[in-house]
Structure 1
Amino acid sequence: MALGQQAIAWQVFLGKTARLGALVLAFVTMVATASAQQVATLTPELLSSYVAHQTAARLQQDITFKPEQWLAPQAPTVNPEMLSAYAATKFVPTAKRVADAQKERLCLAQAIYHEARGEPEKGQWAVANVILNRVVSKRYPSSICGVVFQNANGPKFRCQFSFACDGRSDMGGNGNRIVRESWVRANVIALAAFKQFQAGQRPDAVPANVLYYHTRNVSPHWAQSFRQVSQIGSHIFYSPS
């Protein structure tokens, strides 16, 4: 049998002994790499002598179990001071988070309903898209309700969306079947768009830089200052030039 085959056979046989496995593996590796002139034949006597010498050498070493040398204590990632600072400045109770999310979703639904309930579905998505684009933009408030009702408490018709300051109720769905269905559809779109926004995304009905729109039956003076991007239904959409 060749030297390499002998080494493999001994390795398989002696590998069953867990305590000697490492020693045997080291010896077999040494034998496999040696030249034929240095080690001619692998015998049980030769292997036993090697193991005995290695065992004696290991007994002369300090093998005391010292876990403190390799399990060094680690400082906690959060301490009481950090928790107190977070609670005092950034903590928001879960109930308030839920209420705030519901309010934001309602504001978006109101805007979709009043601004685009007669538009095709893509047109309603586009209005939601513009509102969310404004939330992200530094030019507008950082919340959906802040964007939708911006300047609503100022002079009449100085708000961003006319329904927000026309003196009438902002809630929808009070009327015939078509009106009720339009309110339901606006809420469905608002819910889907809001979930996208919570996940860091926005609808792709219009590009992310589109911040303005108006209906085709008006010609506002500000439109000349912006770049027309698209027209969906009766709305024309613009982005800053």
Structure 2
Amino acid sequence: MPHSQGPSMRRLLTLPMIAVASATLAACASSPAREIAVPAEPLTYTPRAHSAPYPTFAPPLVEVPDLPLRQPLQLNAKDRTCLVAVMYYEAHGEGQKGMEAVGHVVLNRLGERPEGTTVCDVVYEKKQFGWTRKISRKRVAIGKTRGWKTAATVADKLIAGYSEDLTQGATSFYSVFEFRDGPPEWVENDEKTVQIGNHVFIAP
């Protein structure tokens, strides 16, 4: 038969538990608070000012050299829109370098055209870019998604002269995803310069 505990025995059992609880609270109070590091603001490339009004957005991070690589281009708002659109529709899934490369193809073609030819003229040449059959020259516009913002920022990098031509002077390109069995017939006499993502770039 178990013995009953008197009042003095219960007090003796309670005292150690109070001591343990007090020690735990004291340890918690004396522990220094953890410091949480706050990430620094990311550096962003801000496009140069233009005379024509452009959509406002927070530009994404884009690598830019310290000095321009060539003279800046003088493009009006419509030609800038055409450049952004062709970079987005042809290569928005290829990352910044892929979009930049497509932009250089358009500018390289522009350099071969007669004086007075515009970027929109090059982009809307017949049977060059499939998306132009659905979106007319009058209706083409810059969207508001992050992909569009990236394309616009990279286009401004090209316009300002801060972009190296990674295509090595290419004036055409094709998708290896579309032509899985080999290059299209029109590249037989042309030279492959480089492959960037899923696009193979061709120079005359």
Alignment TM-score > 0.5, same fold: yes
Structure of higher CA gyration radius: 1
Q: Is the 8 A contact 1:193 1:202 kept in 2?
A: yes
Counterpart of 1:183? 148
Aligned with 2:188: secondary structure? helix
Specify which structure has the bigger relative contact order, considering alpha-carbon pairs within 8 angstroms and separated by 6 or more residues: 2
Q: Does 1:214 align with 2:178?
A: no
1:140–1:215 distance in 2 versus 1, CA, 3 Å: farther
Among 149, 171, 187, the residue aligned to 2:141:
171
How far apart are 1:160 and its partner, in Å? 1.0
- CA RMSD of superposed structures (Å): 2.5
**TM-score with structure 1 length normalisation?**
0.47
Q: For residues 163 and 136 of structure 1, do their structure 2 counterparts lie closer, same or farther at Cα, with a shift above 3 Å needed?
A: same
AA in 2 matched with 1:220? P
One-letter identity of the residue aligned with 1:233: G
Deviation at 1:172, TM superposition (A): 4.8
Q: Secondary structure at the match of 1:129?
A: helix
1:98, distance to aligned residue in structure 2 (A) = 4.5
The match for 1:40 is none
Alignment of 1:162 with 2:134, yes or no, is: no
DSSP-derived class of the 1:225 partner: coil
Q: Give 5+ residue unaligned stretches, structure 1.
A: 1-96, 152-158, 175-179
The percentage of counterpart residues that share the same residue type is: 28
Q: Tell me, which stretches of 5 or more residues in structure 2 are unaligned? A: 1-50, 54-74
Is residue 2:195 matched to residue 1:231? yes
Normalised by the size of structure 2, how large is the TM-score? 0.55
Aligned residues: 127
Superposed, which structure 2 residues align to 1:1-241 within 5 Å?
A: 98=52, 101-138=76-113, 142-151=117-126, 159-166=127-134, 170-173=140-143, 180-196=145-161, 203-208=164-169, 210-216=170-176, 217-218=178-179, 219-240=183-204
Give the aligned residue type for 1:165: R
Contact 2:105 2:172 in 1 (8 A): yes
